[in-house]
Amino acid sequence: MKRQILVVVTTILFSLSFDSVSARFFPNITGLPPLPFSKNGTLAPWDAFTKFAGCRSGEKRDGLAKLKQYFNEFGYIQNAPSNFSDDFDDELEKALRVYQQNFNLNVTGELDDQTLQKIVLPRCGNADIVNGTTSMNSGKSASFHTTKHFHTTEHFTFFPGTPRWPDHRQDLTYGFADQLTDEVKAVFARAFEKWSAVTPLTFTPTDSYILADIKIGFFTGDHGDGEPFDGVLGTLAHAFSPTNGRLHLDGAEDWVVAGDVRTSPLPSAVDLESVAVHEIGHLLGLGHSSDENAIMYPTISSRTRKVELGSDDVEGIQYLYGSNPNYNGSTSTTSTHERETSDGGVRDSISRWSLGVILTVGFGFVLL
């Protein structure tokens, strides 16, 4: 009992040790801040990796050490040395092959354009490989699923040990470290509803951040959990496995709360609901999926909206918790075309950036 109390007190003290990012309102579009750039002058932390196009084993390129750090951060290189070299060595080639397999790319072991285009995309900060093990494509075996309801073509994964919220804790509360508007809170409410619609779980907001089962906050840089944020784009957010309950979002992002993110004037605009739905999946026990249509796929482009659970997400979460008795087999009436959309293509019509809200944490809320 004393140990349980100590754990609770430690968690509360940790949560209060790092201030979340506050927000303020800008009344109109003239309040938009200048387009944000990282300190190295690029729009995103990983854009510089594109210079490695065509690089292969045996070569040496200035800056490859940073690419190795990237692969180390997401679990593809284990036991990191104090300093990575700029050599394209066997360890980097092995990591690259596993990455390519997990992301359904041609497994070449080389830094081809297709692979680099995937690497530089904004993504979840959670690792694809935890403690050297993965259930993404590279870790699948023919016997991974054994019941008639699951097949080897499914790509959903779990954290090591398959943690989940216990049966006596399935009516969960969530609270915010930040003073957020009703519009922003509504985004999270919709995100939680995606998961409650297909499981017996319920999610209720509470004013008590400290006592909430799920604690949500916006932070920047090093915020004390060992997973520092990196500024605009790059890693967008991360969440911890059950029953930790922490969900952290990068306060440097340009978070779109309402309006059509696809036509945002900001190339760095990120749809808040899309990221929230993904991170809640982690809070409930899901790892990353190799299915590009799944919410739990690790990457998402800026100016993209992807909020509806795919069949892979549904089967994965129902493996952990069972089905909502009222679930009819459909997560939404939204068409497949609308499930995942971005600015990367010709449109039938380009609407004006509709009346909406951009949450630019660190700069503030922007009303358009």
Contact 269, 252 (CB under 8 A): no
Answer yes or no: is 253 a known binding residue.
Answer: yes
In angstroms, the CA 78 to CA 128 distance is 12
Q: Is 193 a catalytic residue?
A: no
Q: What's 63's DSSP letter?
A: T
Contact assessment for residue 338 and residue 331, using Cβ atoms and an 8 Å cutoff: no
Asked if residue 238 belongs to a known ligand binding site, the reply is yes
Query: Which H or E run contains 246?
Result: strand 246-250
Question: Which among 91, 110, 154, 279 is annotated as catalytic?
Answer: 279
CA distances for 140 relative to 143, 153, 168, 200, 298, angstroms: 8, 10, 32, 28, 17
Please indicate if the annotation marks 278 as binding a ligand. yes
Q: Which residues of 164-194 are buried (b: 16+ CB within 10 A; e: fewer)?
A: bbeeeebebbbbbbbebbeebbebbbebbeb
168 annotated to bind ligand: no
Contacts with 61 (C-beta within 8 Å, 6 or more apart), sequence order = 51, 52, 55, 86, 88
What is the signed CA dihedral for 223, 225, 228, 231, rounded to 10 degrees? Answer: -50
124 is in an annotated binding site: yes
155 labelled binding-site residue: no
Tell whether residue 231 is among the known ligand binding residues. Answer: yes
Helix, coil or strand: residue 23: coil
Residue 38 C-alpha from the chain's centroid: 20
Query: Could you give the residue numbers annotated as active site?
Result: 279
Per the annotation, binding residues are: 124, 213, 223, 225, 230-231, 238, 248, 250, 253, 278, 282, 288, 296
Per the annotation, binding residues for Zn(2+) are: 124, 223, 225, 238, 248, 278, 282, 288, 296
